[in-house]
Structure formats: C-alpha cells, structure tokens
Structure 1
Amino acid sequence: MAAPKLVLGERIRLGCDSLAHRGLGLGRFQGMVVFLFGALPGEEVTAVVTKVHARHAFADTVEVHRSAPERVEPTCPHFGTCGGCQLQHAAYPLQLRAKAAVLKEALTRRGIEMPGATDAVGSREQWRYRWRGEFHLDSTGARMGFTSRQGHRVVAIGDCPIHHPALTGLLPALGRALENAHEGVQTVHLTVGSQGREVLLQTRPSPAAGEALAVALGGQPGPAVTIESTELTYRGRQFRVFSDSFIQVNQGSLEDLYETVIDWLRPSLPGAQVVDAYGGSGVLSLRLVDEGAEVTVIESNPISARLCQLHGEMYAPGRLTVRGGPVEELLSTVDKPAVVVLDPPRSGLAPQVTGWLSLAGPPLITYLSCEVSTLARDLEALCRLGPYRLERLRLVDMFPQTYHFEVVALLRRS
C-alpha cells in the first residue's frame, strides 16, 4: 500500500531516527521518509511540511515533545532563517558523530571497503573560525547578510558567530558605508589576514566600488582594510592571498588537514616525484618539498598558479615546478609520479583525471575532499579501475555548526 500523500503546510508528529546528509533529521511518517530541519536523533517533534516528493518529504521542526540530551540552544538568533548553519542545535560531539556516519554511509553505499573505524578530528575552534566570508546585498542595497535557508532572500546579519571577530567587527561600519556606495555591489568578500590585523575587501560584480568602501572604512578602529592583497601564515611562512585565490576558511584547523597528508606520506616522500593536482597557492606543496619530494603543481586558477610560483621562488627555489591550466589537460604531460595529491573542487575529478590515474598507476594517491558525494563516486571509480584500495581515512571538521566537512583519503595501488 502506497504511503499517504503529505500536503504542504501540514503539521505532522513523528520521531527522528538519525541525522542524514545536510544536517537534516531522518524520520518516517506513515511509511514516508521525512527529512527534518531542526530535529535530533531520539526526539519526537511536530514539524510543518515544506516540500513533498514522490518518495520523501521535507519539514521544519516547530515543537519538540521529547528532547535529545545532545540538544543545545543555538548561539545565533538567525539560526533556522539564515542558510549558513544547520547544526547549531546539536552539541559538538554529536555533530562529529553525525558527520562520520554520513561519510561511512556514502562510501559503503558505493561498495567501498572501509579501513576500520572512521577517524574524526574536531575543529580547534567551534566558533569564530571562519577567516573568509561572502556577504550579499539585496536589490535595494539596504540589507546585507547571507542567503536565507529557503534561498529566496537576503537575511540581514549584524554579527555571525562562526566568523572571525576581525571580520564581523567591521560589519556595522560596512553596512553604513554601503548605504551611500552600493551601486554595482551584489556581494562583498572579506578575508582576514596578517593574523587579524588586516581585512581584504572585494566587491562584485564591480571591484571599483571596493575602493570607495575602503576609503570610507579607513578611519574605523580595528584592522586595516585593503583591496589589494593580504597574507596568511602557515608554519612560519607568509603566503600572499588575493580575493580570487583559494584559501581554507578555517585557518585554525588547517594544520590538522595538511599535516595528516604529510604524516601519511612521509615515508614515501624523500626523493619521490610528486604531483600536487589542484595545488592552489602552494601551501601544502611546500610542505611536500620540506620532506624531500620533487613536486610538480598543477593549478587551473591563474591567480593561484602565479602565487604558487611566487611562493616556490621564495621558499624552495628550483624545487617546485608550477604548471598553470586544467588538471585534466596537463596530467598527461607529466612524468609518471610515485605520489599524486588531489584536492579538487566540490565537483570532484573529471573523468579524464580518473582515467589517467588508473592508467598511470601511481603507487599512492592522497585525496582531499570537501564534498562527500563526489568523493564516494571518485573513490569507487579508482578502486574499480586502478585497482586501488582505501588504506586510511580521516574526517577533519573544518566547518563546525554546518553539515560540511573535509576528508583525507589515502589509496594504495593493489
């Protein structure tokens, strides 16, 4: 017998069994799967149906009848309205367990053999950890903040508890300055640099508007505002950063991510030919050089590629080769390496990359991912075509209070 059809706006009472991908509770109502915003495992809630599909529905929790012991009061008054966070109502240990379960489920569903228990490393900071933020303006320029959870409007934000205080401290003055200088501005990108002493500002689609904003903010107390570039420090080295160059937003936990790669690869690095695909501005690449590897970086973003070249000349002259262009086009031009490091965008590996890896057969591959669905897809392909086996796996939580996380996977050719 088919499950009864739910209706938009209908109030339903049900239990929550687990936390699924995107931080949503998973429950069932009269045989239909319901994804619940704001519910935790073990709770009984009343929820309002917001979307209905053939086999599942979505609903928002409006009342909790039986509360889980891990439930906490959200820190931000905009939680549930703003689309930035999904898990502020869950104690942090539960957030970590839920993310580890999502990772395991995604890989096992693809038939990937897990290397024992999933190792999960929590963020060093659970709040105020983001060093970069993107703020949107509504069509009138009067409202600045983040996209709503439903995605239809801008939620005005005066403070955000997951962003660095040097960034959020600038928001009130920035809002006032935008009242008179919002023409051509749809988004404002802010990056904290120089260990909190500087904020890099960029406006889009019109970068020129940023100049006027920087002048208006010049007399404000707090960090200096620049529109040119800033720098971030990693293990004693200064790395130049532009608004269009990639950085990990959680600088406090960056070492947990990159040093995992180094620790796992260290025995194989001295004298090894290593390809760092999607190498960015060279932060991890230089750590590979530190361990004695000869490293070729492939990076498609021209700004990041130039920065990687600059950083290589500064810190490892003659030991770091940088090739600018798409990874799928340039991989076939390099000598077969002993180790390949992959850190692709959320879309994962292009089929040409997976195909090259299966043919070239580097003995070791380290894959860093911020999107579990494409990671699972790519690992399945590599384990099938390589053939490779998944030897080690670690979840590094770079994004507390949200459903996002980073993963490091080590694959060895069978």
Structure 2
Amino acid sequence: MPKIKPPVRPGQKITLTISGQSHTGDGVGKYKGFTIFVPMAVAGEQVEAKVTQVKKTYAHARLKQLVEVSPERVDVPCPVFQRCGGCQIQHISYSAQLESKRQQVMDAFARIGGLDHVKVHPVLGMKDPWNYRNKAQVPFGGSNGQIQAGFYAVGSHEIVEFDHCMIQQPENDRVLQQVKELVNELAIPPYDEKQHRGVLRHVMVRTGVHTGEMMVVLVTKGPHLPQKKRLVKEMRERVSGLVSLIQNIQPKRTNVVLGKENRILWGEPVIHDKIGHVLFSISPHSFFQINPEQTEVLYDQVRKMANLTGEETVIDAYCGIGTIGLYLAKDAARVLGVESISQAVEDARNNARLNGIKNSFFEAGLAETVMSRWAGEGVQPDVIIVDPPRKGCATQLLDAVVKMAPQRLVYVSCNPATLARDAAYLKERDYEIRNVQPVDMFPHTSHVECCALVERK
C-alpha cells in the first residue's frame, strides 16, 4: 500500500476552518483532509496559519491571522497568558470551555473505548472560575544578582514572572511576592539548573481555604540555607496565617520539585483544611486536590453514584491520604483503602484518627497487588472506588475488581482517554458504564475530571 504524502510542509501558509478543540486546548481543523493543530485558535473560526511541524498523520501550525472570529473568543485578563504554560484556554468563553470538555470526554469514549452510547452529562462548572488553586509551586532563578520567580513558559524552562496569577488563591500570590522580596534582600542565591549550583530551587505555598492556615516550603539544592535565622524571623513577621515553614532538600538534577527530606524551620509539620465535613492534615508531599470548592462537588457525585446505605464494604483504591474513603466513611459499614506511597497511608490513618473515624483500614502497597491479594482472600466489597493516576488502572487491578464482583464501581479519572480504555475492558467482563459526570476542577486549562458509574450486568 503506497504511503500517503502529507499535503503540507513546514513553512507553508494555509487557510482552514477550526472544527473543535484538542485535549490540550489547541484548535483542530482539516486541510485537504489532513489534521492540523493550531494553538490559540477557537472552534468555529477560519484562520490563516503557518505550518511549523509535520508528522505522518497530522501537523502543527502557528496562528497568523483570524479570517472569521468565533463569538466564543473572549479578551484575556491575564497579561502573561500567551507566554505562561499554566492555562491553555483563557481565550475561550467559560460556557464554551465546558462544552469543549464534555466533547473531549464523549470523543474519548467513542474513539478509544468504542462506547459512543455512553451518557455524558454536561460538565459541572464553577460560578466564579477564578482564584481557585490552593497550592502554588513556583521555580526561582535569576541573573545579574536579581531574583526571578514565576511559572515556566510553554515548552521551556524560561521563567515568566507575574504579579498576580488569575487562577491562584490571592493569598498564595501575596506570599510568593513576599518571599521573593525577602530572598532578594538576604541575597540568597537562586538555583541555576544548567550549572546545578545555587540554593533556592522552588517555593511552594499551600493555603487551607477553610482554616486560613498557610504552609511555605523552601526547596533548596542542599541542606545549607544562608541567613536561615533572619529568614525565619522575617517570614514569621511578614506572612500572616503562617503555620508551617519547611525546608525541603532536593539535591538531584531533576524536574521533580520536592526531594525526600523535609526540615521544619518553624511551626508545624502540617496544615489543615476541610472537604465537606472531614478535616485533613496536609504535609508538603500530600496529594490534596487543588480546587477545594470543586472537590466537594466531585466527591458528592462519587457519593451519589456509590449509593450507600450504611451497610456496605467500600474499597478506596489509589486512596492517597484517604480523602474519598474518609468522605464516604459515615455512609458505609467499613472502608478499605490502598495506596502505594507509605507516607500517604500514614497520613490517611492520621486523618481517620483526627476525625474519630473508626470504620476505616488503610494498607500500603501497589493497588493492583493488594487488591489481587484481597480478592484471593475472599474480600467481597459492595462498592469499589478507583481514583488512579493519568495512566489509568493497571489491568491486574481491573481483573481483581471483576473477581471481587462488586455491584458498583465508581471510577474517578483525570484522563478521559484511559477512563474510556478501562471502561471498554470492563465491558468485556460484564460491567456496563451507566453514565459519566465531568467536573471542571481546573477552569481555563484543558484538563477535565470525570466521575463514572460502572455496574455489574
């Protein structure tokens, strides 16, 4: 069969109509039947674009001019939007963002799972889709003795500085600016990743939205932190709400922000925040959802799909610090959680004690390994909750689910593609996906979270 030559080449100028948005937020169109991705283009627009990269089945192009403008295109309030890699779709109206995310989920089920009959509800969005992030993680760098702090530019490690991030809690922005000023005053050297030298690599700020407690984590290349005493004194005076000031040591040449070692410079090792009725302690390494308002919306959907009466045994797989399992514990007879990170399991147990929850049990280990063992031991859950990473559930875990034969599986997913793949696998084993409820956890980005109900036939 002869190879089909792409109808475009790098540098070529083309005109095309944008028919939709990709899962990364780019505009998608066809040129002579060939798929073209155009960042910053909006569905419904006709654009002139310059081809930048050509692959076998698709190409990328740069937007040069709008020929016809979509009514869903809006003015962007953020001055660094086009350079910063934090948001991808601020230039699209919020209602169109939600519809695009719903379409993304439906396309994943149709194309990847072969499940085009699945009912996908409209996305549950926010009344005010700004200032929602309770955690900021900002790289520090600099040249000529001047500290830089900001987010990385798209596709690079160039730092884009900002005064106010439109999707961050305002308190996070305030503290980051205070830390930047103080680091400049004390002449603490920023980290140079090319030379692998310097001191301050990142600053992480976490805010307890319901408690007002604040944690600041200074990520350093090594244990030495210049001007430590004065730094602590000034931070305590300047940062209102500060409960925890921690030094994290990351000595490796890596993009992983946090190292393994934490040293408490002042205050507590954790801060606290609530999801609904449950209080959680949060350490620097804790996975805690970054949008507290929408987390409660998502977990209420999980509760609705789990349909608990108080008599059920519930398994919470990939449980992290126990957020979903403990949120549901009052409605279940018992909750069994499993998580591969041992510190997270310890946090889950502490959170159960913190809330006086006595019907939960958490075990450290790979979810697929522990679940397979439980299945072999005859554990029979009525409901299983899974909340896997982006790569989805391990096949071994899905096989354990089938062997345990719960009536209901509630699948929480941050990646529609792997959710659709796993749903297709379960369908072949007599589990039918009933409906999917997307939740907009990350407005103005291309990400979408889903909660899906899967029932045994």
Q: Tell me the TM-score normalized by structure 1.
A: 0.92
Determine if contact 2:8/2:51 at 8 Å carries over to the other structure: no
Counterpart of 1:356 in structure 2 is 400
AA matched with 2:288: I
CA distance in structure 1 between the partners assigned to 2:297 and 2:35 by the alignment: 36
The 5 Å alignment of 1:398-413 reads: 398-413=441-456
SS at match of 1:218: helix
- Counterpart selection for 2:98 from 96, 99, 102: 96
Task: Tell me if 1:13 matches 2:15.
Answer: yes
Q: CA deviation at 1:390?
A: 0.4
Pick which of 222-231 and 233-242 moved more: 222-231
Determine if contact 1:158/1:171 at 8 Å carries over to the other structure: no
Determine if contact 1:33/1:55 at 8 Å carries over to the other structure: yes
AA matched with 1:351: T
- Counterpart selection for 2:200 from 167, 181, 185: 185
Determine if contact 2:279/2:355 at 8 Å carries over to the other structure: no
- Counterpart selection for 1:261 from 293, 302, 324: 302
CA distance in structure 2 between the partners assigned to 1:200 and 1:211 by the alignment: 20
Counterpart of 2:249 in structure 1 is none
Q: 1:150 to 1:344 in 2, by over 3 A?
A: same
Counterpart of 1:129 in structure 2 is 132
Counterpart of 1:220 in structure 2 is 238
Counterpart of 1:230 in structure 2 is 271
Counterpart of 2:369 in structure 1 is 329
Q: 1:214 to 1:83 in 2, by over 3 A?
A: farther
AA matched with 1:339: V
Deviation track 1:163-183 (CA, whole Å, cap 9, x = no partner) reads 000101122222223332233
Pick which of 361-370 and 137-146 moved more: 137-146
Q: In the comparison of the two structures, how many residue pairs are matched?
A: 411
Q: 1:391 to 1:27 in 2, by over 3 A?
A: same
Counterpart of 1:55 in structure 2 is 57
Q: 1:342 to 1:124 in 2, by over 3 A?
A: farther
SS at match of 1:22: coil
Unaligned stretches of 5+ in structure 2?
Answer: 191-197, 246-268
CA distance in structure 2 between the partners assigned to 1:343 and 1:193 by the alignment: 23
Task: Tell me if 1:239 matches 2:283.
Answer: no
Instruction: Quote the RMSD (CA, aligned, Å).
Output: 2.2
Task: Tell me if 1:289 matches 2:329.
Answer: yes
Determine if contact 2:314/2:332 at 8 Å carries over to the other structure: no
AA matched with 1:119: P
Counterpart of 1:75 in structure 2 is 77
Q: 1:289 to 1:236 in 2, by over 3 A?
A: closer
Deviation track 1:105-160 (CA, whole Å, cap 9, x = no partner) reads 00111212534343310124311001112112347583221121122422222221
Pick which of 269-278 and 178-187 moved more: 178-187
Q: Tell me the TM-score normalized by structure 2.
A: 0.84
Determine if contact 2:211/2:273 at 8 Å carries over to the other structure: no
SS at match of 1:178: helix
AA matched with 2:152: T
SS at match of 2:165: coil
Determine if contact 1:18/1:40 at 8 Å carries over to the other structure: yes
Q: 1:316 to 1:197 in 2, by over 3 A?
A: closer
SS at match of 1:142: strand
Q: 1:214 to 1:205 in 2, by over 3 A?
A: same
Q: CA deviation at 1:215?
A: 4.2
Q: 1:214 to 1:39 in 2, by over 3 A?
A: farther
CA distance in structure 2 between the partners assigned to 1:123 and 1:244 by the alignment: 27
AA matched with 2:134: W
Task: Tell me if 1:379 matches 2:437.
Answer: no
Counterpart of 1:159 in structure 2 is 164
Determine if contact 1:111/1:380 at 8 Å carries over to the other structure: yes
